[in-house]
Structure 1
Amino acid sequence: MPPKRLLAAALTVFALAAGTSAAQAAPEPPVQTTNPISSSFADTFADPAIIQGRDGYWYAYATSDPLVANGPFGLMHMARTKDFSSWEYLGTVFDDQTKPAWAAPGSFFWAPDIRYFGGRYVMYFTVTDTAANAGGDPAIGVATAPTPAGPWTATGGPVVTPKPDGNGGYFGTIDPAMLTAADGKRYLYYGGFYGGISVTELSADGLHAVGTPTQVTIGDRYEGSYVVYRDGWYYFMGSSMNCCAGPTTGYSVFAGRSRSPRGPFVDADGVPLTDSRVGGTTVITQNGNQWIGPGHHAFMTDAAGQDHIVYHAIDRGTPWLTNPFGINRRPMLIDKIDWIDGWPRTRAGLGPSGSPVPAPTTGSALGIDSTDPAAGLQGATKQPGDALGGPTAAINGAARTRQAAPAGSLRVEADARLGNSVTTVLGDQVVATVANNRLTVTVGPRTSSANLPATFDRTQWNKLSVQVSGSTVTARLDDAGLGEVYGEVRLDVPGLKLGSAPVRWFGSAEVDNLTVRSVAKPVTKLADVPQTGNLLAGDEFDGALGADWSWVRQDDKATVANGKLSWPLENADLVGSGNTAGLLFHTAPAGDSWIAETKLHLDTGEGDIRNYQQAGMIAYLNDSDFARLGNVAIWKTRQTEYGRELVARPSDGATSYGAAAIGRSAPTLWMRLAYHKNAAGEHVYRAATSVDGKNWTWGASWVLPSAAKIGLYAHGEFTGANPPPVATFDYLKFYESK
């Protein structure tokens, strides 16, 4: 970094020579987008991945389902947009001649993950069946391309090979996600419900797994991983429950974080994702509008510094691409991510948007055109660039924007090939320098810096951003702005007020995709959740069950004594045709909104297999139409499951069942169902759980066609403990909802 006096003198001379006009272009009208964003070119675009190419377009990729009903299966799909309001379909990643030769005939290609490093685009993907073994033996493939549109060249073998389960089958080696970490190493996360998710180090070129993998989640809970770095933490995000149950899909995304890319990842309550009573802080779940099953996501940051989640979901009104129980219709959606108390929350906890919302901010202000960045800079030289990126801007000595940037929060970002030293100055106050393999931020007497990895290659295109948001300055170097990191510096400067001034550069660099934008206003408070008001009705089990109680298939083993309802789990079920379980209902209050609550004690142990012992609350219309909130054993995990069953094929009464996960399981668990009518007059039941009766985790909503009976249940198959555990309920109460 230049000495302070020299830098100050350079600023003064440059300001006198170039002027510091505050003239600015008129504000651009905001661009809006409406989910699903893939509707102009596809009915389904599942497991999306996204990246900004050096040509300024955002490229999206999807798994190999047909794009439309009765269409052919593709070999993964590609599309692009400049503004997220209009899209161009680009075809498939592979064809029959270019697909991996080591894939078995008929293998599917799922869950692409797109990256850029080392001067090329790198795509990881699932191959569902290899030619090396008979039957399904999933593996992770990798392909490279000079442009984000291809042509894609697959390597000669898997980057992660199939993993035998010891019983003649194979674990779920699926759903890859790559991360470049601050230690300069590249990591690949992969795996799913069968076997859990692991992370392995990759070779420097990203094409080979090296070393010993580390398991970062327990099995039976997470798939579709994605990891981002922020403020010293690595955030693991994974999808839970079933992706593809048509109208009962409850897929959701949860997060844990760690100081290491290898974990252990723990949630906001400090619970590891490897625990039998598995942890996870909600990133996105369904909210009662048309979108259910939001998940298998990617992550991006726009030109205003706003993070976004790109994901698929299912419209509960049109859940199938083909006939019921066929291919699910999973279009691509996008919503903003708000970081609240250190955790990523979709729209501050509101979940998927169902109406027009602001699109991601793209392009630049200050008259800068990404197709010719030098034209918006004084002192920069236009370079021809290459066929991918087009013209670039060379900075040698000093350059500045021709227009002054506005005062207040500001973000400057560019793809950059760096010389020996380059300094970016915002507001004539904030100085960010890359020199001597260090990233440094200086504001007045305050300074902070971070070492860059020894392997960092400044001659390649990397993403450089400098942002002032309120009193916090963040400078970052990474591959492509997808949550990876080579170096990040955050500096808090109390009282910092960035003035209006041109953005300035000193040193040497070549830049492309240059953007200067006011920073999106951060949201720092979670959206409101239901709160209990006055007690309306209920029972604390201080006497025999009264007239407000009724049974379906009464279980005489359920007894009331000592202020508790004790109910040994029935060896019974309520899903599909197994309608043998007893259900106990209490009359619900009148009105269009209320909250039902119970306290349950159910000890199902930890770590052993007990399928599917459970107890909890139910909103019930009939044996084929209900929503069930339970504390449940699922293989070796203990989870809270909010399940939904309904008739998915009226012609023969065939039912569909799926579920969402909510909060953490515990031997003693409080549960709530909050009821309200939505604007369409539908009946919405939102679930919440608590491990202390004070702090509640609100999760997914299910919509029922009419008002339901509310009650309790206790049942499950008996793989595991014998005699059966006893579910003990302390009360069932109904409160006003406020």
Structure 2
Amino acid sequence: MHRSSLLLLLITALVALVGARPASQSLTPTPPQVYETTDKIPLPNVGNLQVHDPNVVYWDDHYYLFKGGWHIPYYKASNMSGPWTQVGTVFDVESVIHQGNRSRPWAPTTIERNGTFYCFYTLSTHGSRNSAIGVATSSKLDGSPWTDHGALIRTGQGNGSDVWPFTISNAIDASFIRDNATGKAYLNYGSYWQDIWQVPLSDDWLSIETPAKPDAVQLSFIPHETFRPEEGSWMSYHDGYYYVWFSHGKCCSFDVRGFPARGDEYNIRVGRSRAVRGPFVDRDGKLLLDGGGTIVYASNHGAVYAPGGLGVMPGNSSTPDILYYHYLNTSIGFADEQAQLGYNYLKYDNGWPVVLDGIDIKSSAAIISRSPGWWSLMILSVA
């Protein structure tokens, strides 16, 4: 065979071989965009800290941020945009609760009363109801040791897990509210399974009231569905209303498990009531117990993905309320440990919270690439 003919056959075979590559190795993929590109939702103010499930306390003219992680690390800054300096950790060793991941608690919520700080924390594992909410206390935010008081509630296994509603709910994502009229303290908690609940705390805030028969109320629920993705609740008070905030949708491990359908990722929703125990309704008047919830913040601009794990910091005469949360910056990555701190100031429209514009993130365009086993997004600046 002539050499040129042989070369032509070889090139043809190679082209055919490339054309037969498995789809997972395609060089020119055309998958649908998985994140929201709307510009109707404002960009965040950038917190300049990698964080998951942030909790912020303003104390002694500084912001203190607690986050889920090894022994619950916490940080200090003079403003919400940082720079943040790590102060220490709540724990030096594992939690005294023998449940879940004892070295890496989730979703801390810290409250101050009369010079004592109370840190409520979660021990669990993904996809499990074998969970517990504990509490630790300290009189200082300077890295000094905290006292671990153990579990307030357990689900799945352990003491008290056989008491309703702990038999059907999931003891994660604790948050805190006091009745504005009486000062009574309540613990809000819950996730998926039977969604979000509230129980009264004892006067010392170190246990729940009447643990053998708790006066529990359900705050949110998605009926007629087996998948009920509501968690991470927070309760705030403003001008006569109590607001239940929560994260709705799929949260984490996008880089491993893949992306949910567009719009099914984390977003932040709210309902309100004149009473701390509800019932709560959304802006359309739908009960949160009937699956209601008004979206306040969600993926936007192709730069912010899956915001959630939220809290609300009350404002004062000169500063509005602040909604803060974690989100995935699509130019950085989609791994859990790449989540970023974001925040927006709030205004109220007929009593309903609305986020204000944040600091602009550089305009970006996205090219979606495909690598074996999962989707990744590469963001190219067009500014």
Structure 1 length normalisation: TM-score?
0.39
Q: Distance in 2 between matches of 1:200 and 1:261?
A: 11
How far did 1:232 drift?
Answer: 1.5
3-state SS, counterpart of residue 265 of structure 1: coil
Runs of 4+ in 1 over 4 A off after TM superposition: 163-166
Find the aligned partners of 1:156 and 1:290 in 2 and give their Cα distance.
41
Match of residue 154 from structure 2: 161
Residues 419-454 of structure 1 show CA distances to partners (whole Å, capped at 9, x for unaligned) of: xxxxxxxxxxxxxxxxxxxxxxxxxxxxxxxxxxxx
The amino acid across from 1:94 in the alignment is: F
- 1:61 maps to a residue whose letter is F
Q: Paired residue for 1:173, among 158, 171, 174?
A: 171
Would you say 1:258 and 2:273 are equivalent positions? yes
- Show the counterpart of 1:343: 352
Which sections of structure 2, spanning at least 5 residues, go unmatched?
1-42, 223-227
Question: Structure 1: which amino acid aligns with 2:286?
Answer: V
Between the aligned partners of 2:122 and 2:198, the Cα distance in structure 1 is 15
What is the CA deviation profile of residues 360-414 of structure 1, one whole-angstrom value per residue up to 9, with x for unaligned ones? xxxxxxxxxxxxxxxxxxxxxxxxxxxxxxxxxxxxxxxxxxxxxxxxxxxxxxx
- What residue number does 1:481 align with? none
Which fold has the larger relative contact order, with Cα–Cα distance below 8 Å and residues 6 or more apart in sequence?
2
Corresponding residue of 2:3 = none
Asked if the contact 2:171–2:190 (Cα under 8 Å) also holds between the matched residues in 1, the reply is: yes
Where 2:153 maps in the other structure, the secondary structure is coil
In the alignment, is the contact (CA less than 8 A) between 1:142 and 1:207 conserved in 2? yes
Answer yes or no: is the 8 Å Cα contact 1:282–1:345 preserved in 2: no
SS of the equivalent of 2:338 reads coil
Q: C-alpha distance in 1, partners of 2:371/2:311?
A: 38
Report 1:675-694 matches (<5 A).
Answer: 680=382
Question: Within 5 A, what are the aligned runs for 1:206-605?
Answer: 206-210=205-209, 211-218=214-221, 220-246=228-254, 248=259, 250-275=265-290, 278-302=291-315, 304-321=318-335, 327-347=336-356, 353-355=359-361
Query: Residue 86 and residue 49 in structure 1: after superposition, are their counterparts in 2 closer, same or farther (change >3 A)?
Result: same
Query: Are positions 1:60 and 2:65 aligned together?
Result: yes
Flag the structure with higher strand content.
1
Secondary structure in 2 matching 1:216: strand
How far did residue 36 of structure 1 move?
3.3
Q: Provide closer, same or farther for how the CA distance between residues 148 and 194 of structure 1 changes in structure 2, counting only shifts above 3 A.
A: farther
Shift in CA distance, 37/262, structure 1 to aligned 2, threshold 3 Å: same
What SS does the aligned partner of 2:199 have?
strand
What residue is the counterpart of 2:30 in the other structure? none
**How many Å apart are 1:208 and its aligned residue?**
0.8
Q: Is 1:37 equivalent to 2:47 in the alignment?
A: yes
Q: Give the corresponding residue for 2:110.
A: 114
Change (3 A) 1:152 1:172: farther
Distance in 2, Cα, partners of 1:59 & 1:160: 26
1:144 alignment counterpart: 137
Q: 1:158 aligns to what SS in structure 2?
A: strand
Q: Which residue of 1 aligns with 2:84?
A: 87
Instruction: For 1:170 and 1:281, locate their aligned partners in 2 and report how far apart those are by CA, in whole Å.
Output: 26
Structure-2 change in CA distance of 1:152 and 1:259 (3 Å): farther
SS in 2 for 1:333: strand
| Rounded Cα–Cα distance in structure 1 between residues aligned with 2:321 and 2:55 | 14
Who is 1:573 aligned against?
A: none
1:251-274 alpha-carbon deviations (Å, 9 max, x no partner): 111111112111111001110111
Q: 1:136 to 1:260 in 2, by over 3 A?
A: closer
Structure 1, gaps ≥5 residues long: 1-32, 65-73, 130-134, 322-326, 357-624, 626-645, 657-678, 682-738
TM superposition shift of 1:106 = 4.2
Take 1:185 and 1:112, find their aligned partners in 2: how far apart are those partners? 21
Asked if structure 1 preserves the Cα contact closer than 8 Å seen for 2:97 and 2:134, the reply is no
Name the SS for the 1:159 alignment partner.
strand
1:652 aligns with 2:372: yes
Q: Aligned AA for 1:269?
A: D
Against the structure 1 CA distance between its residues 218 and 36, is the aligned structure 2 distance closer, same or farther, given a 3 Å change threshold?
same
User: What are the equivalent positions in structure 2 for 1:720-731 lying under 5 Å apart?
Assistant: none
Q: How many residues align?
A: 305
What's the RMSD between the two structures over aligned residues? Answer: 3.0
CA distance in 2 between partners of 1:244 and 1:295 (Å)? 10
Cα shift at 1:152: 4.6
Q: Percent identity?
A: 27
In the TM superposition, residue 652 of structure 1 has moved relative to its aligned partner by 1.8
CA distance in structure 2 between the partners assigned to 1:224 and 1:305 by the alignment: 25
CA contact (8 A) 2:297 2:355 kept: yes
> Aligned match of 2:55 in 46, 49, 53?
49
Deviation at 1:112, TM superposition (A): 0.5
CA contact (8 A) 2:229 2:250 kept: no
Structure with more helix by fraction: 2
Aligned to 2:22: none
Distance in 2 between residues matched to 1:230 and 1:106, nearest whole Å: 36
Aligned to 1:77: 73
